[in-house]
Amino acid sequence: MSARTMRAARFHGPSKPIQIDEVPYPVAGPDEVVVRVEACGICGSDLHFFNDLPSLMPPPFILGHEPAGLIESLGSGVADWAPGDRVALHVGRGCGQCRACLSNHPTCCPSLKAPGLTIDGAFAEAVCVSTKSLVRVPDEVSLAAAAVATDCVATPYHALTCRAGLREGERVAVIGAGGLGGQALSLARVLGASQVIAVDISKPALERAAKNGATDSVLVSSGEEAVARVVELSQGGVDVSLECVGMPDTTAMGAGMLHAGGRLVIIGVGMKPPRIDQPQVAFLGAELSMLGSFGSHAADLAQVLRLQASGAIDIDSAITHRLALEDIAVGLEMLRTKRGDPDRIVVEPAL
């Protein structure tokens, strides 16, 4: 009898098209579960592998790091989970023993296990993961929303809370009001920001930003003009600027729009060195900070799911396209070109 197989979208190398391959169906090992994938978000990070971002595992491998689904089978030693449990998969699991993990930076672990990044991901019918990667999804939360929450929402939540330390009443600017940025706008308001300024080159993105909680918007024609406008709107600069694009120019913009004591937090993925267009004495004289933020903690994802369950945020409304697994190349191209004005694109293998 032939071994069971499944369909999976695999990355075969830079500049090569993504392929739907028939691969062995996963089998859970000790302390692992197999999750039947109900939804997996397409992320801008997936696009980077096809350009200049080095992959963390040799191709071919299965992409997809924003999944949610139902537990299908259990490996040995699994006691706290059962088939049918609704789960979201946290973006990365550290070893728990190294210096990074012990200092509460698990996503910086040299032995990070992240579906779609360092191990096979969830652009497939099923995925096998450690139980340590699982976060329960409340009944009030759709599995599509939970999938988007794993990275697109939990990442800006982590950046605003754990890295920026956002305090109630502070002013925030979000540079890049697309996927991550759009969710950051909503979160900043929920977390108590008194002013949230959306900054983008796209008019449709800024129109969505107003619905997502932005109090003000700035259409970028040039970096200098955008910085000046944010400083004007915020009466002297913002307390937190969140860079969601991953380019040197937008990093420089984020640094230039800060008030004294302000924090620039970079969550946009890019391969070029960040740039700060101001004298070092001005940067230190204003006691500014530049921080990186990668992914999130499992507790961040759990809190985001609670916010969604309570109605404080609305992830479902950000899902503009739902695609079958066979259409993943179309989804990646839509995200790259912005054709069809996509916000969040979700792959649902059962379609």
pLDDT tens readout for residues 102-136:
999 998 999 988 898 889 999 999 999 999 999 99
CB 125, CB 70: distance < 8 Å:
no
CATH 3.40.50.720 residue window(s) in the chain: 165-292
pLDDT band per the 50, 70, 90 thresholds, residue 52: low
pLDDT of residue 41 exceeding 50, the answer is yes
**What is the mean predicted confidence (pLDDT) over 162-175?**
97
The torsion angles phi and psi of 253, rounded to 5 degrees, stand at -60, -45
> What pTM was computed for the model?
0.94
**What is the mean predicted confidence (pLDDT) over 291-301?**
94
Query: Could you give the dihedral angle defined by the CA atoms of residues 170, 173, 178 and 180, in that order, rounded to the nearest 10 degrees?
Result: -50
Q: Which tokens hold the place of 269?
A: 């993925």
Half-sphere exposure of 213 (CA within 13 A, CB side): 25
Report the share of the chain in percent with pLDDT over 70: 99
Q: Which CATH number fits domain 5-153+296-347: 3.90.180.10, 3.40.640.10, 3.40.190.10, 3.20.20.70?
A: 3.90.180.10
CA distance 67 to 89: 6
Q: What amino acid occupies position 293?
A: S
CB 85, CB 75: distance < 8 Å:
no
305 Cα distance to chain centroid: 14
pLDDT in tens, 142-168: 999 999 999 999 999 999 999 999 999
Least confident of 9-23, 43-57, 238-252, 292-306: 43-57
**What is the mean predicted confidence (pLDDT) over 261-272?**
93
CA distance 14 to 12: 7
CB 344, CB 148: distance < 8 Å:
yes
CATH 3.90.180.10 residue window(s) in the chain: 5-153+296-347
CA distance 9 to 62: 6
165-292 carries CATH number 3.40.50.1970: no
